[in-house]
Structure 1
Amino acid sequence: MAMRKRHATGYTLIELLAVLAIASTLLIVAIPMFRTQVQNSRMSAAATDLLGTFMSAKAQAIGRNYPVKVCISNNAPDSDDIDCVTNGQWEDGWLTFVDLDADGTLDDGEEVIQIHPPLAENITARSSRTGAGTLENSVTYQPNGLTDLTATREIFICNSARYGVTARVLIVSILGKASILRDEDVEEDGCLSD
Structure 2
Amino acid sequence: MTHPITISPTPCRTRAGFTLPELLVTMLIAAVMVSLAVPGVTTVIKDNRAATQVNEFITAIHLARSEAIKRGQRVTLCKSSSGTACTLSDGWEKGWIVFADADADAVFDPGEELIRVHGELSGSTTLNGSGNVADYISYVATGLSTLTSGASQSGVVVWCDDRGFGDDARAISLSPTGRARAVEASASGASGC
Q: Give the TM-score normalised by structure 2.
A: 0.84
The letter for the 1-side match of 2:99 is F
Hey, what does 2:64 align to over in structure 1?
57
Counterpart pick for 2:38 among 25, 31, 38: 31
Hey, what does 1:146 align to over in structure 2?
144
Question: RMSD of the TM alignment (CA)?
Answer: 2.1
User: 1:165 deviation in Å?
Assistant: 4.8
Contact 2:54 2:172 in 1 (8 A): yes
Hey, what does 1:76 align to over in structure 2?
82
Distance change in 2, residues 1:184/1:139 (3 Å): closer
- Structure 1 window deviating more from structure 2 (146-155 vs 104-113): it is 146-155
Contact 1:61 1:142 in 2 (8 A): yes
User: 1:63 deviation in Å?
Assistant: 0.6
Show structure 2 runs of 5+ residues with no match: 1-6
The letter for the 1-side match of 2:142 is N
In the alignment of these two chains, the number of paired residues is: 180
Hey, what does 1:66 align to over in structure 2?
73
Counterpart pick for 1:22 among 19, 29, 47: 29
Higher relative contact order (CA 8 A, sep 6+): 1
Counterpart pick for 2:93 among 91, 94, 108: 91
Distance change in 2, residues 1:42/1:66 (3 Å): same
C-alpha distance in structure 2 between counterparts of 1:139 and 1:151, whole Å: 8
Measured against aligned partners, the alpha-carbon deviations of 1:154-184 in whole angstroms (never above 9, x if no partner) come to: 111111x223451221111121101112336
Query: Are 2:11 and 1:4 aligned?
Result: yes
C-alpha distance in structure 1 between counterparts of 2:97 and 2:154, whole Å: 20
C-alpha distance in structure 2 between counterparts of 1:20 and 1:154, whole Å: 50
Contact 2:78 2:97 in 1 (8 A): yes
Q: Give the TM-score normalised by structure 1.
A: 0.84
Contact 2:75 2:139 in 1 (8 A): yes
Task: Tell me the percent identity.
Answer: 29
Measured against aligned partners, the alpha-carbon deviations of 1:11-53 in whole angstroms (never above 9, x if no partner) come to: 1222211210111011111222222211211111110110000
C-alpha distance in structure 2 between counterparts of 1:70 and 1:112, whole Å: 10
